[in-house]
Structure 1
Amino acid sequence: MTLSSDGPTTLTPARIRLALLALALGGFGIGSTEFVAMGLLPNIAQDLLPGLYAQSSAEANANAGWIISAYALGVVVGAPTIAAAAARWPRKRLLLALLTAFTLGTIASAVLPTFELVLIARFVAALPHGAYFGIASLVAASLMGPGKRAQGVALVLSGLTIANVIGVPAITWLGQAAGWRIAYLAVAAIFALTFLAVLAAVPWQAGDPHATMKRELRAFTRGQVWFTLGIGAIGFGGLFAVYSYVAPLATEVTGLGPSLVPTVLIAFGLGMTIGNLVGGRLADWSVRRTMYLFFALLAASLVLLGLTAAHPVGLYLGVFLVGAAASALSPTIQARLMDVAHDSQSIAAALNHSALNIGNGLGAFLGGLAIAAGFGYVAPVWIGLVLTGAGAILAVASLGLDRARGRRGVVVPYATGAIESIEL
């Protein structure tokens, strides 16, 4: 039996599993709404930018990539704002409010008539993204118990990665068959189902009664928080430079038919699912070693994909490895943020998703520029490699600073509440 965070209520293992499943279902919906645009980008471009698409499909696809960037910008704005303002809210009530906003925003994305209005709707629909993952991660960590913080984060994120195995390919197929607007309505239905699941299964958890916006925003006064945000924002651009344009990469470079694009997304999603779970477990062992390992693997995977994307085996293997290495970094970076943010835990748990979606927007934007400039659909892979290298350099600098302080006998208060010496 496990105690809930409120103290008096005991939870059976079955109830805990149901609660974690409900939280992960929200991640499944978020993964679907965030990534389905990648597979349907040509369909969206043809429908919302018909004149430009008739002149140049490559330029229309690049411009349609702004839909991805608009969603990423919404995450960046919404995550710290909502997390800081609502840290005192009971966590279950906040999750339900965020799921309501997701549902309405996704419906608006599906029904609005023009490219400009859809851009606005995608921005608005993204505002709850980071706050949901942040609060859900805190709830999951409390349900998992001591010493399993990163694994709790990974379980919530597993919904997002599984979405890339099942949800995104299935909804991409639906969008290709029935129209991209129907695809977004299907995503809205997932959010509505998640609302009911969280309502029924997640135990009531109080917010932090001592939290204030000033205390949460204090995280931004810490240099290591900015270092870690930079690691995620720049390093994850390597993933999204590739993922944003994976559909035209598969059809125009590898020569696959549009009907096979969902299978490429499945390969991406399988890699992300496996990498996320492995990264969560390894990060509970050593954040530093896990970050070094998977930045190296991500760089090697991008090189492999860039050199072999013209061949189907190279494409499938490359996207699988890119997805696995990048996804392993996500719970690792979130654990690092929660360590260096000290008592600003609500905003720290949400800021990871701001950082990753800056990477989303940056990768999509730079990849789109390269395609529009005529460098081809492989160019975003090499841009991704540069961004990954820059993120790795920031990781070495940040963790190296910790090691230097450790040699001077400095200790760091970890987010679990324990005081641990810096790893040497």
Structure 2
Amino acid sequence: MPFAVYILGLSIFAQGTSEMMLSGLLTELSTDLGVTIPQAGLLISAFALGMLIGAPILAVTTLRLPRRNALLAFLAVFVAAHIVGALTSDYWVLFATRAVGAFVYAGFWSVAATTAIGLVPANARGKAMSIVAGGLTIATVIGLPAGTVIGQHLGWRAAFWTVAIMSALAMIGVLAKIPAGRAEIQPDLRKELRSMVNPRLWLSYSTTALATSALMVTFAYLGALLSQTTGLTDGWIPIVLVVYGIGSFLGIVIGGRTADAHPIRTLYVGITGLIITSILLALTAEHPAPVVALTFLLGAFGFGTNPTLNSRVFNLAPNGPTLAPAFNVSSFNVGITLGPWLGGLAIGAGLGYASVAWIGATLGTTALAAITWDQLLNPHTPSPNKQPELIH
């Protein structure tokens, strides 16, 4: 595996830490900025919104740029946004920096995916994407608790400075290891757009959004479920979240090894496992031992499908290696937004925290239906054998 792919994964880790850490800093942000905790929570929504719209827009606008230049530009804006965020005392300025940072982070994601795929043979796409996406998993395991600890002891601004420094270091890695030249075959926007007219591609996007929301509806309220329903003390909750992170990491590693040879089987196994885990979690939510074990499985099955969901769009849209993965990034963020919203509705209606796991099982079942529909459209899916343009 080219070292450049690992650089891309580490870059995602640096930026993904910013995405993850805010959930642990809401109290500090609320106190320092003089806003309510729900208002501070809107900073998370600002990030999700920026991610949602950033990927396709920046994928198109940077289509003809050398990919290294685009990646460096995205990182530079991301660093600047976090420096401004760390210096401001105005809530709305911070809100804007979160949206801008997420906007370019989404652009980095889409171009990084295309770059990683272009650096490896067609039969290693899933493994490459597991390394790139693994950066976000490590951000969950390490970045989230580390950012929270830094914020609690040194202030939330120190956490923002830390992200800015890590992202600046990522720029050095990109500059040193990502190939500098243009794509061997120049991107063609018309071909990219034509490649999007494919029902199976949009079914894949639907699967991505549904599978992601099936995971996120439970994860978003996992801490509250552990505290309010399972009855764990506050000291145990970070430990259980680490267990979730370890499961996520193992899931994405295993999923990366099976994504290329058995993509559909990987999706069926991963999403079915997520459904069963969600049902068992709903049924045993008041019992600590099974909940801890099921939290591990939630991360493992939830992230195990990630490499396939990322790499499959390249096979479904071989003439759209930039735009197709950009919309996939947006699909992930649709799921990240949809799941917690549905869970919030259920909790607000008085159905209890265990209800989010039932919603996760339902969303997972819908994702399975989308995969089945795809297979009915084309039951003989060929193995990936076509690679998008190589870069130098």
TM-score (norm 1): 0.83
Structure 1 residues 100 and 346: alpha-carbon distance in aligned structure 2, compared to 1, 3 A threshold: same
Residues 183-332 of structure 1 aligned to structure 2 (within 5 Å): 183-207=159-183, 209-332=185-308
1:137 aligns with 2:113: yes
Shift of 1:48: 5.7
Q: Deviations over 1:191-213 (max 9, x none)?
A: 11111121223332423653133
Is the 2:75–2:105 Cα contact (8 Å) retained in structure 1? no
Amino acid at match of 2:59: A
Is the 1:228–1:333 Cα contact (8 Å) retained in structure 2? yes
Shift of 1:32: 1.1
Amino acid at match of 2:229: V
Shift of 1:72: 2.1
Shift of 1:257: 4.0
Give the Cα–Cα distance (whole angstroms) in 2 for the partners of residues 389 and 64 of structure 1.
33
Give the Cα–Cα distance (whole angstroms) in 1 for the partners of residues 6 and 155 of structure 2.
30
Is the 1:77–1:354 Cα contact (8 Å) retained in structure 2? yes
1:416 aligns with 2:387: yes
Residues 86-165 of structure 1 aligned to structure 2 (within 5 Å): 86-113=62-89, 115-165=91-141
Structure 1 residues 69 and 144: alpha-carbon distance in aligned structure 2, compared to 1, 3 A threshold: same
Q: Secondary structure at the match of 1:382?
A: helix
Give the Cα–Cα distance (whole angstroms) in 2 for the partners of residues 381 and 180 of structure 1.
31
Q: Deviations over 1:138-172 (max 9, x none)?
A: 33334333421111111111111122222212212
Q: Deviations over 1:258-299 (max 9, x none)?
A: 444432332222111111121121111121111111110111
Where does the alignment leave 5 or more consecutive residues of structure 1 unmatched? 1-12, 54-59, 418-424
Give the Cα–Cα distance (whole angstroms) in 1 for the partners of residues 331 and 112 of structure 2.
17
Give the Cα–Cα distance (whole angstroms) in 1 for the partners of residues 34 and 220 of structure 2.
18
Aligned to 1:171: 147
Is the 2:121–2:387 Cα contact (8 Å) retained in structure 1? no
1:32 aligns with 2:4: no
> Which stretch of the first structure deviates more once superposed, 354-363 or 26-35?
26-35
Q: Secondary structure at the match of 2:186?
A: coil
Is the 2:122–2:385 Cα contact (8 Å) retained in structure 1? no
Shift of 1:179: 3.5
Q: Deviations over 1:306-339 (max 9, x none)?
A: 2333333333322221111111111111222111
Structure 1 residues 48 and 254: alpha-carbon distance in aligned structure 2, compared to 1, 3 A threshold: farther
Q: Secondary structure at the match of 1:284?
A: coil
Aligned to 2:332: 356
Q: Deviations over 1:124-147 (max 9, x none)?
A: 211123332232233333433342
Residues 75-94 of structure 1 aligned to structure 2 (within 5 Å): 75-94=51-70
> Which stretch of the first structure deviates more once superposed, 361-370 or 64-73?
64-73
Shift of 1:20: 2.9
Is the 1:161–1:273 Cα contact (8 Å) retained in structure 2? yes
Shift of 1:117: 4.3
Is the 1:105–1:122 Cα contact (8 Å) retained in structure 2? yes
Shift of 1:35: 1.8
Is the 2:87–2:157 Cα contact (8 Å) retained in structure 1? yes
Give the Cα–Cα distance (whole angstroms) in 2 for the partners of residues 91 and 293 of structure 1.
34
Give the Cα–Cα distance (whole angstroms) in 1 for the partners of residues 32 and 268 of structure 2.
43
1:23 aligns with 2:46: no
Structure 1 residues 279 and 343: alpha-carbon distance in aligned structure 2, compared to 1, 3 A threshold: same
Amino acid at match of 2:182: A
> Which stretch of the first structure deviates more once superposed, 174-183 or 95-104?
174-183
Give the Cα–Cα distance (whole angstroms) in 2 for the partners of residues 290 and 187 of structure 1.
33
RMSD across aligned positions (CA): 2.7
Is the 1:66–1:365 Cα contact (8 Å) retained in structure 2? no
Shift of 1:237: 0.4
Shift of 1:305: 2.3
Shift of 1:362: 0.8
Give the Cα–Cα distance (whole angstroms) in 2 for the partners of residues 244 and 153 of structure 1.
24
Give the Cα–Cα distance (whole angstroms) in 2 for the partners of residues 315 and 186 of structure 1.
33
Is the 1:236–1:391 Cα contact (8 Å) retained in structure 2? no
Amino acid at match of 2:12: G
